Amino acid sequence: MSLTDTPIFGLALSLAAFALGAFLNRKTGLPLVNPLLVAVTVVMLTLSLLRIPLDHYRKGAQLVSVFLAPATAALAVGIYNQRKVLKQYFLPVLLGCLAGSLASMISAYLLCRAFGLEDALVRAMVPKSVTTPIAMAISESLGGVVPVTVAAVILTGILGAVTAPLLIRLFHVTDPIAQGVAIGTSAHAIGTTKANELGPVQGAMSSIAIGVAGLITVLLSLAL
């Protein structure tokens, strides 16, 4: 058994790639230098250049996914700290999440149909804007291709985190609550990392939007 065929390899490569991404992000301050985007690129290049089988990497990389649920649950801390704001703006937050979820699902469905994708891929793409555990469950229940869903969710989150600051300035969205809800609804947990950088209110509202948008998406998917 080689070193790359052990769980420690995939885990170490994942942590090292993300640490490099976080370092470059701090040094450059550029939205395009997103830690997760850098990590994905580094992992892909490493596996490709060294001709390491993907199954070898997965043995350790799967250990990282164990922390996905606790990390999502930890977002509740920010929600609790901003509970007064949530109580005051509950209806606008709910309506914002509903509008965002509808826009995401409808646009994904129409684009997939426009490009002539088969039904399984269409169902896989519909829940792309919600957090991974919820998206996987929705995709599986709809008969979608779950690995495609996971890839779409990650790509959506990265794009959301990278473009959020630019879009906020472009459309002159100055309200921190609106910023947070928009980011959380469209770019789930990955986008929320960027929302936290924008401010505590944005981070808390984005965290709230993840759960609310996830629930709304589950209910809307029942109609498909």
Report pLDDT for 72. Answer: 65
pLDDT class for 197, splitting at 50, 70, 90? confident
Report pLDDT for 175. Answer: 93
The amino acid at 212: V
CA distances from 185 to 138, 157, 158, 204 (A): 16, 10, 13, 12
User: Residues 104, 191: contact at Cβ < 8 Å?
Assistant: no
Tell me how far apart the alpha carbons of residues 217 and 224 are, in angstroms, rounded to a whole number. Answer: 11
Check whether 80 has a pLDDT greater than 90.
no
Which two structure tokens, joined as six digits, stand for 168? 């906020």
Which two structure tokens, joined as six digits, stand for 75? 């977002």
Least confident of 17-31, 55-69, 101-115: 55-69
Tell me how far apart the alpha carbons of residues 34 and 193 are, in angstroms, rounded to a whole number. Answer: 10
Check whether 1 has a pLDDT greater than 60.
no
Per-domain residue ranges for the chain?
A: 3-66, 73-221
The predicted model gives 173-191 an average pLDDT of 92
The predicted model gives 34-50 an average pLDDT of 90
Share of the chain above pLDDT 90, in %: 48
Q: Classify 19 as helix, strand or coil.
A: helix
Report pLDDT for 182. Answer: 94
Check whether 33 has a pLDDT greater than 70.
yes
Q: Name the average pLDDT for the chain.
A: 88
Tell me how far apart the alpha carbons of residues 18 and 40 are, in angstroms, rounded to a whole number. Answer: 8
Least confident of 52-66, 109-123, 172-186: 52-66
DSSP summary character for residue 126: T
Check whether 164 has a pLDDT greater than 60.
yes
Check whether 78 has a pLDDT greater than 70.
no
Check whether 119 has a pLDDT greater than 80.
yes
